[in-house]
């Protein structure tokens, strides 16, 4: 690969641009906003690295949301995401330009790509971070991520290797408003594009019948282990059906088979922003609350008055989740 730009022309805080499902998936824009803060502290700029086919429109969007530079690798071979090709190209570009920081979304995409990149670049990676700051004394990136099942928050630094890499869950940071007058530079690096994947993509199609769903529901009933058994959990489906809402679940509820994997909420599941979230029988572990923190109103039901979920709830009900949800169903049936 030939470096056509001197590295000082690029910022040293880099964000990986994931533009798939652009209107719902805002994590890149959220990271640009955070990247701006970090870059200001380091007196540098924010660069978004984006790969794909005909990506100029996304590059412009990134500039409008705060990117100072967009490094765009634009080629028809990059139309579909292929992990081997993306890993090689990003690793080559990062090795050439040597950013200080490289951030990406903790999406299924980022979770596949970033560990591979970290190995190629021989650096560390903090996954699923919930906070990022610059240490004022050392200038190092402080990467805060949940550890030991969420009981502890680990503050990680990468003192010796570069880039300092982290993935961040969608919804942790707020994107900046779109500014169509913003000015940025779009740089097209000279990269060798070759089909270096062992996977051949024959066709792709969106999942049927999943449009909207949990992410767009205005009311969500989320159940945790405290619902006790499948029959009790089924009350949540009845409630959702009655009022046109959706059902979400914690990891133990999914593991018990009460809800499908795609209903999982949290750090390794979905992030939602309903108007009303009713959380029943969930303790409020950090990995779960990461997915519900953007709900407008949270009502929590738990029999333990000290459950952490009550710290974030707008309304808390201490009691047996099964009987309270059954009572709610009964009352709603009478009224609707
Ligand atoms: C790397 C990693 C990623 C993870 N990602 C996720 C994720 O994306 N999403 C997720 O949910 N979890 C995730 N977890 C697991 C997470 O740490 C918690 O273990 C999980 O969220 C707890 O689920 P829960 O609240 O249903 O169960 P518990 O923590 O066991 O809580 C059950 C709660 O129900 C209450 N309860 C019991 N019986 C009743 C009753 N009859 N009525 C009312 N309340 C009752 C209890 O008081 C308790 O507070 C992850 C863990 C790790 C290590």
Q: How far is the CA of 281 from the centre of ligand 1 (A)?
A: 8
Q: What's the CATH superfamily of 13-187?
A: HUPs (3.40.50.620)
Which tokens go with 273? 């922003």
The CATH code for residues 211-335 is 3.40.50.1220
Residues of the chain with CATH 3.40.50.1220: 211-335
Tell me which H or E stretch contains 74: strand 69-74
The predicted model gives 39-65 an average pLDDT of 95
* Separation of alpha carbons 130 and 168, rounded Å: 6
| Single pTM value for the model | 0.65
Q: Is the CB of 111 under 6 A from ligand 1?
A: no
Residues of the chain with CATH 3.40.50.620: 13-187
C-beta of residue 134 within 8 angstroms of C-beta of residue 42: yes
Q: Is the CB of 263 under 6 A from ligand 1?
A: no
DSSP characters over 230-275:
HHHHHHHHHHHHHHT-EEEE-HHHHHTTSS-GGGBBSTTSB----S
Q: Is the CB of 145 under 6 A from ligand 1?
A: no
Q: Kindly state the percentage of the chain with pLDDT values over 90.
A: 70
* Separation of alpha carbons 307 and 291, rounded Å: 17
pLDDT beyond 60 at 209: no
* Separation of alpha carbons 227 and 100, rounded Å: 46
Residue 125 burial (10 A CB sphere; 0-12, 13-18, 19+) = buried
The pLDDT, as a whole number, for residue 4 is 41
pLDDT in tens, 306-334: 999 999 999 999 999 999 999 999 999 88
pLDDT in tens, 74-119: 999 898 888 899 999 999 999 999 999 999 998 878 889 999 999 9
């Amino acid at each position: 690969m030939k470096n056509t730009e001197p590295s000082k022309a690029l910022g040293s805080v880099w964000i990986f641009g994931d533009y798939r499902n652009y209107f719902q998936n805002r994590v890149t824009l959220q990271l640009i906003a955070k990247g701006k803060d970090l870059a200001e502290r380091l007196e540098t700029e924010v660069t978004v690295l984006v790969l794909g086919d005909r990506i100029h429109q996304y590059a412009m969007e990134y500039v409008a949301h705060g990117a100072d530079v967009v490094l765009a690798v634009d080629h028809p071979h990059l139309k579909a995401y292929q992990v081997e090709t993306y890993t090689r190209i990003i690793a080559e570009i990062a090795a050439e330009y040597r950013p200080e920081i490289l951030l990406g979304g903790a999406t299924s995409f980022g979770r596949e790509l970033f560990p591979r990149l970290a190995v190629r670049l021989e650096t560390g990676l903090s996954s699923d971070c919930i906070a990022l700051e610059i240490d004022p004394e050392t200038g190092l990136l402080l990467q805060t991520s949940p550890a030991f099942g969420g009981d502890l928050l680990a503050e990680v630094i990468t003192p010796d290797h570069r880039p300092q890499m982290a993935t961040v869950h969608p919804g942790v940071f707020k994107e900046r408003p779109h500014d169509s007058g913003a000015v940025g530079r779009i740089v097209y690096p000279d990269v060798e594009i070759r089909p270096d994947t062992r996977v051949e993509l024959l066709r792709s199609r969106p999942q049927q019948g999943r449009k909207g769903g949990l992410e767009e529901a205005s009311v969500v009933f989320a159940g945790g282990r405290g619902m006790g058994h499948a029959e009790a959990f089924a009350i949540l489906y009845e409630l959702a059906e009655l009022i046109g809402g959706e059902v979400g679940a914690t990891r133990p509820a999914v593991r018990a088979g009460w809800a499908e994997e795609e209903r999982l909420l949290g750090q390794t599941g979905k992030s939602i922003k309903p108007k009303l979230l009713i959380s029943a029988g969930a303790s409020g572990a950090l990995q779960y609350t990461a997915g519900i923190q953007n709900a407008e109103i949270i009502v929590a039901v738990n029999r333990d008055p000290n459950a952490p979920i009550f710290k974030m709830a707008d309304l808390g009900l201490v009691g047996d989740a099964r009987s309270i949800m059954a009572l709610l169903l009964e009352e709603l049936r009478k009224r609707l």
